[in-house]
Each structure stands twice: as structure tokens, then as C-alpha cells.
Amino acid sequence: MTVENNDAPAPATPTDFIRDIVAADLAAGRHQKIVTRFPPEPNGYLHIGHAKSICLNFGIARENNGTCNLRFDDTNPAKEDVEYVDSITTDVQWLIAGWADQCLGFKPKGSHPDAQSVNGRPDHYRASITLGSSAAEPFFASDYFEQLYSYAIELIKKGKAYVCDLSAEDTETYRGSPEKPGKDSPFRTRSVEENLDLFQRMRAGEFPNGARSLRAKIDMTAPNMWLRDPLLYRIRHVAHHHAGDKWCIYPLYDYAHCLSDYLEGITHSICTLEFVDHRPLYDWVLESLELPRALPHQYEFSKLIPGYMIVSKRKLLQLVENNVVTGWDDPRMPTLSGLRRRGITATAVRKFVIGAGVTKFDALTDIAVMEHVVREDLNTLAVRRLGVLRPIKIVLTNIAEGEVIECNATNNPQDETPTTRKIALTREVFIESDDFAEVPPPKYFRLKPDGEVRLKYAGIIKLDEIVKDATGAVTELRCTFDRTTLQGEPGSDRKVKGTIHWVSATQSIAAEVRIYDRLFTVSEPGSEEDFLKVVNPQSLEVVTARLESSLAEAKLEDRFQLERIGYFALDSKDSAPGKLVFNRTISLKDAWTPKK
């Protein structure tokens, strides 16, 4: 039926300060090829904020015939898992498919940096390869552990690193504060020989967790706290999801990240604003080693923070662990897997995050902007179908038992040449319970006693009788169908003020429909003292709906507009043949009101 058009024209090439820097570097001949990277830590699922970084890094590579490496900065094995590696790889490939997948940089499976000589000096480099081989895999910082260890030995020999025996608590105390300078560790003056011996014994597993660390020797009085002899290595006797149990010392992110960029030949290391203060350390590590090739440079941009969403992996994990949601891919989550499961397309995500722009100032992005992009995308993509979420039965008394009247319904009025399908009008049909009022309010134009409405694509009906059970609950509505108002009949143009949707009671299917709403009741849940207290208690409603029978053949890639209701897609996890589950991606228009 419907398939996402990943070949749709991309938004006009964006302009921003980072792209200006890249253009100036190319014009000046500083680089022959642009190489960027997207380097997540595999300790959670990617969210909408990551999508901005993915589209920026891959977008720059795409615009300059360059490469963007997918690299896992996996230096903290206690919090990382293969589940996250797999989910991140899937999410990245989904988001860039048909747009920038030709720029995706992988490496030969199991490969490590190759030794080479640059101007007579030893060097190491790991080039990317074109994806398309089963022998290719993403980059992993853990594949550089041996080379990172060698670089650490070199820093020790240069007198720029030392082994420290302070506990974690004492290390923090000695560090001082932004208002107060730190003080030197009592182990800062160890000799090169002693430091080499201790560091090698650290690697050999001789010491317990936390007993020793390797620190850079910079300046304990530096105004920038990140330059106060930061940790480079710590002891962690724990197996690694990718490297196995070969290591019991692991490099810190700030040390491994810049050197991973160097080993891959990254030209522009692009990250978010919280790393501005880390940049001097990034440069210090690279410059201290006097490496033979051109050094990468770090540039920072603002985060994407949409309203009514949380984009902290720590807080998202709390939602999962506290069973507020069903998992990382719950359709209410801002994760890429959650958005995909909800029915939002990669095209819509890209258009939203690219349109948000690249600046140096963090700011809240109105969620209405994202919702507008999603509706605009689905309005073009989704085929129209009829469905009733909360059915009430109507009996059309002047249609005989077993009689079927075929009506023509439009599949998608947005198509250049719209097509139609046949739908069945039968004696019994379902309408939305909200489309009937026994005691209607003023200016109510839907079905009411002695009132008329049009059944879309069929004709006009009049309510003659309301049938109730012993408790007074309405069980069915008995109506008369005006056959002269059928399409092609003389009265088809007769005007009534209300038009409602419907499905045949006998030629429709039952399906579970999940109606998702915003997960939080306030626009900035991350700013709350306890964000769990502003979870929307009505963020999910589950109903058993009646749907047009053609939806029995729905596929995961299909997108539907249930007319007058919203946009829907099959649930990728729980839906199965004969037991269909549809998710509401988004309503037809914004009718949000905070839930109490």
C-alpha cells in the first residue's frame, strides 16, 4: 500500500557556522576529504536529540562527498551492552537510509589500526570501507585499546602522565572547585620509571578496582576544571562486551575520544555544547603526543530539546526501570526506536531535526514544530481508510438483510491522480459513539433524534429510533437511508451540515488500537525536581476498534489516515496476523490540553 519515500528530495542544503568552517577548510586546502563521525556510547537507545547529531554529521559528509564513521565510544564496560550496540546500529541505518547511507563509514570486521609511516615517523590509522559486505562492522574505541595504551606509555615517558594512588573521594577533594584551585597529588612527583612500572602492573591485573589510576599532569590550579590532572585510565575488573576479558584497565572518555578521532582520520569532531570545556583537554592530549598527521578539531553545537520530552538517557532509563513505559521502544518514548514503532518516518525525523538548525545556544524547541512536520509527511504518504474507535451500532431499516451497496472511497486525495476503492454499505454499520447525542448541545451537527447526517462516501441517514437495554444504555440506533443521496443519484448533492465516518458491521474487522498522547503534562519535564510526577496518566488509551476490512492486509511499512481521527501504523512488536494492533502516530490536528 504505502511505502516511505526515502528518495524524496532532502531539504535545501542547510547553512550554519559549522558548515561555514568546513567550507573554509576545504577552500584553504586543509583537507582533501571530509571525515566526520557519530560516536555514541552504547549505554542506552538513541533519542531524537541524537538524530540532530546524526543528521548534522552525515549531512556534512553527504554535502561534501565525504564519510561519516559510526563509532561506539565503548570505554565504560560496566554500563554498556551488545543490546545497545545493535539498536544504535539499526537506528542509524534506518535514519540515513536512502539519504546518506552511501556516506556511512564501517571497517573490516575485527580490524585494528594499521601501522604506517608518515614522513619517516611511526603512525597508526584505521580507514573506513564502503558498507555492503557482511564482513564490515561499525568502529569501536575498544578496538584501539592496545594503541591507546601505547599512547599512555608515551605520555608517561614524556613526563606528562603519572600513576596516582588517591581514592576517588580524595581525588575529587584535591581537585578543588571553580572558585578554589586544586592541590597536587602526593604521587604527582613519581619518577618516569616508577610510573611505567606501576602502569604496566595495573594492566597485568595486580591491583584491585580503584586502587590506582593514571592521570594527566597538566595544572591543578587551571581555571578550567577539566585540566586539573584529569584521569586517563582507571582499574575495572570487568569483562567488555566487545573486547572480552583481555583488559582490566579502561581509558576515560576524554582521553580515548580525541585519539579515536585521530586514528580514524576524522577532520571535524562535532559534539554538543557541554563539551566546550573539554576541548582544551582534547587538544592537550593530541598535541602532547606530537603525532605526525594533521590533528582533528572539535566544534560544538546546541542540543535539540523538544518540549514535552526527556532527552537524558539516565532519565529515560528510569522510565524503563520504573515500568512507566513498556521499554526503550515504547511509542511514547523519544527514542528513535519508539518514534519508528509509533509510525513516524525517517523522512519526517530528518526534516524536523535539520529544520531545527545548528546554533551555539541551547533552547527548548516547541513540540508543535515536530508535530507539524509529522502531519505534513503523513498527509502525503498515508492512504485513507475508515475506522471506528468506539463503536455504536446503527441499523439502516430500509436496507435488506444481506444487501450490499458498493460505494467509492478515495484512497489519497493528495495524490496527483487520486484512486478509489470499493467499500460496502450494509444494513448494520458502526459509527463513533461521539457522533451521536441523545440530548445534543447547541450547534451539534452530528446524529441526533430526528436529525440527518451524511455517511461519508455513502449517503444521508435520518435517526428514527433509539434502542436501549434494561439499564437505559443505548444499544443501537435505527435509521433510514436516503438512497437518492448515493453517489451518482439525483439527490447526491443534497446538503446536510454533518458528515461522519462509519464501517460496515459485517464487512469490517476488529483490531486493538493504541491511542498515544504526550508522555508528560508539562513542556519542560527535565526541569522538574521529580520528572516522574509530571508523567501524563492518560498517555495511552487502548480500545477495540472496528476497521475497514482492507486493513486486514496492512503491512508494517504502510501508513494510514483513519478519516476524521488521525494517522496510524501497525505495531511492529505486538501485531500479528489475525490479532492486529495499530498505533496512533498522531492526531489530525493539535487538540492537546494538559491532563490533570
At residue 140, does pLDDT exceed 70? yes
Per residue in 389-424, pLDDT (tens digit) is 999 999 999 999 999 999 999 999 999 999 999 999
- Please tell me the predicted confidence (pLDDT) of residue 165: 98
Tell me which H or E stretch contains 280: helix 279-288
At residue 5, does pLDDT exceed 70? no
Per residue in 89-106, pLDDT (tens digit) is 999 999 999 999 999 999
Q: Which residues contact 417 (CB under 8 A, 6 or more apart)?
A: none
Integer Cα distance of 351 and 283 in angstroms: 34
Which domains are delineated in the chain? 31-306 (3.40.50.620), 313-384+511-587 (2.40.240.10), 392-411+430-498 (2.40.240.10)
* Residue 319 DSSP one-character state: H
- Please tell me the predicted confidence (pLDDT) of residue 190: 98
Reported in sequence order, the residue ranges of 314-390 that DSSP labels E, i.e. its strands, are 364-365, 383-385, 387-388
Per residue in 488-529, pLDDT (tens digit) is 898 899 999 999 999 999 999 999 999 999 999 999 999 999
CB atoms within 10 A of CB 224: 14
Integer Cα distance of 501 and 381 in angstroms: 21
pTM score, two decimals? 0.93
Q: Which residues contact 289 (CB under 8 A, 6 or more apart)?
A: 151, 154, 155
13 pLDDT tier (thresholds 50, 70, 90): confident
Cα atoms in the Cβ-side hemisphere of radius 13 Å centred on 235:
22
Average pLDDT (19-36) is 96
Q: Which residues contact 363 (CB under 8 A, 6 or more apart)?
A: 302, 305
CB atoms within 10 A of CB 508: 26
What is residue 13's three-state secondary structure? coil
Binding site as annotated, residues for L-glutamine: 73, 253
Residue type at 402? G
280 or 591, higher pLDDT: 280
Integer Cα distance of 397 and 502 in angstroms: 16
Residue type at 546? R
Q: Which residues contact 76 (CB under 8 A, 6 or more apart)?
A: 41, 43, 250, 253
Average pLDDT (167-186) is 96
Integer Cα distance of 262 and 291 in angstroms: 9
Residue indicated by cell numbers 513542556: 523
Q: Is 509 left (phi over 0), alpha (psi -120 to 50) or beta?
A: beta
Residue type at 394? I
At residue 211, does pLDDT exceed 80? yes
Q: Which of 169, 283, 167 is nearest to 224 (CA)?
A: 283
Cα atoms in the Cβ-side hemisphere of radius 13 Å centred on 373:
18
CB atoms within 10 A of CB 28: 8
Binding site as annotated, residues: 41-43, 47-53, 73, 253, 272, 311-313
Integer Cα distance of 73 and 344 in angstroms: 28
Task: Answer whether 267's CB lies under 8 Å from 31's CB.
Answer: yes
- CA angle, corner 202, sides to 148 and 225, nearest 5? 65
Task: Answer whether 203's CB lies under 8 Å from 146's CB.
Answer: no
- CA angle, corner 554, sides to 548 and 559, nearest 5? 95
Helices (H) and strands (E) in the chain, counts: 12, 32
At residue 593, does pLDDT exceed 90? no
Residue type at 122? P
Mean pLDDT of the chain: 95
CB atoms within 10 A of CB 465: 12
Average pLDDT (352-356) is 96
Binding site as annotated, residues for ATP: 41-43, 47-53, 272, 311-313
